[in-house]
Structure 1
Amino acid sequence: MPKDSKKKKYSQKYKKEWEAEKAFKEWLTSVPGQNSLAFCKCCKSELKAHKKDLESHANTQKHLKKMAELGSVAQTTQITQFVRQTIDDRRKIAELKVAAFIAEHCSVATVDHLGELIKSLDGKSETLKELKLHRTKCMSLIVNVISPCLLQDLMDDVGDSYY
């Protein structure tokens, strides 16, 4: 019997600590259910979970090119492109006042027309020009902003006079 057939073959298993190493941390992850494989997020390919194989993959032209492409995308995309500008405080106050008026005196269905009417009252006022209040937003302001504040005020008043 040849000597080689008695030798047990060692199969390297994926090590989670490799993901923290500088050379691998941006692109390496495990393959669920396959502890002998690793996955390159950059190239979208499975690799053997051998450290030498991973190191050699990191130096391939394909991988280096993909990493460079991803690096340039990450540098050009700024978070400010995804963030909306905040609403002016005067506009917020005006919208809350109109919503409070609607909650106390009218049907929410009338706010679509009332909002347009208020905008046309003064063409010079920036706050009124920017006013954007329709049924959905008005109802949301009443339910999520005005009601909790009024409830808290009521609880404070009742709590003080209860004893």
Structure 2
Amino acid sequence: MAAKRSFRDAWLNNEDFQHWLSRVEDNPSTAFCKICKREVSAELTAIKRHKTTKIHSVYEASEQQEVQQERIPVHHGNYAANGVAIATILFACFIAEHNLPFTTADHLVDLMKRMFPDSAIAQGMNMKRTKSTEVVRTLGRCVTED
């Protein structure tokens, strides 16, 4: 019977592995893929083989293509700018809470601008499906982590 291999800390310094591989504290014979959220046998060939699997490639590609949205700035003393930030978050939460398609944002924000022409907050909102998706995804992570 072959001996069990143990995780090597040197793998964490290897450029091919360092951004996605981590140690499993309670099991030295396994490694953990942070991208796929899966355990892999702590053997160099198994780790290299895992890196070439289709599922790892798909997760890695989607992680690299993730759209980075601009952060919503907080403007101290500027009610309209803060109101736009709050309205943006509330609007994205409304879409998620009511399970509406994100494409709704493409039309509803423009409708609100026409409905409330005297509102600086409504006029300042700029949100389409991409931004609403990212706001929900970002806030969803915060909510699920708490």
Greater RCO, 1 or 2 (C-alpha within 8 Å, sep 6+) = 2
As a proportion of its length, which structure holds more helix?
A: 1
TM-score, normalised via structure 2 length: 0.48
Please say which structure displays the higher CA radius of gyration.
Answer: 1
With the length of structure 1 as denominator, give the TM-score of the two structures: 0.43
